[in-house]
Each structure stands twice: as C-alpha cells, then as structure tokens.
Structure 1
Amino acid sequence: MHTVDEIVEIMASQGLRITDQRKTLARLFADTAGYLTPKAIYEYMGKSYSGLSFDTVYRNLRVMEELGVLEQVMFEDGVKFKLHCKGHDHHHHMICLQCGHTLPVTFCPMNELDVPEKFQVVKHKFEVFGYCEQCGAQTGDEASKGKL
C-alpha cells in the first residue's frame, strides 16, 4: 500500500496542486484497502469540509485516476475507486464481488485479441469478477464455486 506521503508526492510530481482536501483524499485511500464509491467518499469528506459539492469530489477522483494515483472499476452497482496498485505497471484484476479482495492478472489479455486492422485501440480495461476462495466457501453457492 502507498503511504499518504507517497500519494501526495505522486500527485505533486504530476503538477497537481496539493490542497487540504486532496491530502484528506490521500489519507482516506492510504487507509482503505478496498474499493470506495464516490458517494461514500463524498460523505466522508463532507464531515470535514462543509459546503463541499459532490461534483468537486468526483472531479478530484477523476483527476487522481487520470494521473495514475487511483484505479476506477465499473461494478454492477456503479463505479468505485481504489488506490493504484503499488509496484505494478500495466495490469488487470480479478475482483471478489463479496469482500473486494483483488488479485493482479499478470499478463494483458489484449495481446490475445484479434483486433481488426481498421480499428485503432486507444484504451482498454479488463476485470474478472467472481468470488475468492474464502467467500465462495462462505456462501456455499454453486455458482460462486464454478460448478453450474
């Protein structure tokens, strides 16, 4: 996990102005192992910064994602953010739908696709959703164990 100082340094090195709100965001993500919804982040930030708008929070999340500080993942119930994986370059994830435990996919599946010559890929995402061993065992659900 990144420390607050490492997160602030990444933002500063990319030219982002370091405000108290951004330091608070850095602290929140440094202290959180899993994924956070924009609404949960807004509610957390609202406790310290009265008058803060949801748009401001979301804009900061997007800027931090564009700078590579955060990763954004689209879940069935909406978008969530987490701190960018430390020490990993381009990679993808396997994500547990119950506990949010995340494992890196150590190769890029994009290399396996047969992309038509007339299509220019500029960006891609690849996440695999399922249940980790512990959560699959807890639910007892046959689908979570891959035994449909």
Structure 2
Amino acid sequence: MHTMDEIVQQMASQGLRITDQRRSLAKLFVESPGYIAPKEVYDYMGKSYSGLSFDTVYRNLRIMEELGVLEQVVFEDGVKFKLHCRENDHHHHLICLQCGKTYPITHCPMDQTLVPDQFQVVKHKFEVFGYCKSCMQEEQTADL
C-alpha cells in the first residue's frame, strides 16, 4: 500500500471512521520513505491537532499495523513504523541503520529453524541491520 487512498480504503473496509487525523497519519507515512518513531509521529500530528494525546497516536499506529498498512520494527532505540511494502509474499528485510532503506530477504530463516514439538509458532519477525552502500560511502568520505 503506497497511496493515501489505498490506506484510507483499507481502514474504511475494516469499519474504522476516517477522520482528518487518520488521513494526516496516512499522508505522513506515504510521504516518509523510512521508519518513524511514535514520538516523531506525535510531534508531527501535534502541529495540526492541538490536544492530541500520545496514546491516541500510538493506538492508531498499532491499528494500522494490525491492518497490514504499517510495519513495526524494534530498533535499539525503540519501536519504529513504516509503510508496509508492496511485497505480497512472505519476506523479511535488511535495514540500513543510517537512512532506513530496506532490502527484501526472500528466504525465510524459519524454514531452517528446528522448533520443538511442545512449541507452536504463531508468528515471527526477522530483520538484519547494517549499512547500505551509499551510507558506507558517505561514512568513508567523511573520514577523509
């Protein structure tokens, strides 16, 4: 889902009321290429909607994640969200810690994970963090 209309349609199809705040939230993620921390979302939304609580922002982020509109990743400095990629098949990501660019990993490591009989997997996440070629080159140039 990459357009604001697609995101709004997805929310409406699940019975959510489409408010100006939810439209603004959808617009923010459509226009942001990388991951965004809930606090950054709250600060952005607070500029237009005085009295908006952090809990309301976070609840809407979680709802959008549950609907498959957003992806949530836990970084060392906390949880961040980004627009769900358009890939329809199950996959994971390589994530640049500098710019947030993602690359799909098409092979799922769960296929090779030995799960004990007394444990039932219901979902999993697998992300690999590092630096993309552009960010590595910028770092090397800065060191000169």
Which TM-score bucket, shorter chain as reference?
A: over 0.9
State the secondary structure of the residue aligned to 2:82: strand
Q: Percent identity?
A: 73
How many pairs were matched up?
140
Structure number with greater CO (CA < 8 Å, separation at least 6) is 2
Q: Within 1, Cα distance between the matches of 2:91 and 2:22?
A: 26
Q: Within 2, Cα distance between the matches of 1:123 and 1:91?
A: 12
Q: 4+ residue runs of structure 1 moved beyond 4 angstroms? A: none
Show the counterpart of 2:87: 87
Show the counterpart of 2:69: 69
Deviation at 1:90, TM superposition (A): 2.1
1:52-131 matches, within 5 Å, as 52-131=52-131
Deviations 1:43-96 (A, max 9, x none): 000011110000000000001001100000000111100000013332111000
TM-score normalised to structure 2 length: 0.92
Q: Which runs of 5+ in 1 are unaligned?
A: 141-148
Q: Within 2, Cα distance between the matches of 1:74 and 1:109?
A: 18
Show the counterpart of 1:23: 23
Q: Within 2, Cα distance between the matches of 1:95 and 1:31?
A: 19
Deviations 1:85-115 (A, max 9, x none): 0133321110001111101111211111011
Q: Within 1, Cα distance between the matches of 2:11 and 2:93?
A: 23
State the secondary structure of the residue aligned to 2:90: coil
Q: Which runs of 5+ in 2 are unaligned?
A: none
Amino acid paired to 2:32: T
1:43-54 matches, within 5 Å, as 43-54=43-54
Show the counterpart of 1:6: 6
Comparing 49-58 with 108-117, greater Cα deviation is found at 108-117
1:39 aligns with 2:30: no
The Cα RMSD (Å) is: 1.2
Amino acid paired to 2:33: A
State the secondary structure of the residue aligned to 2:2: coil
Q: Within 1, Cα distance between the matches of 2:74 and 2:23?
A: 25
Deviations 1:17-66 (A, max 9, x none): 21111111011111111110100000000011110000000000001001
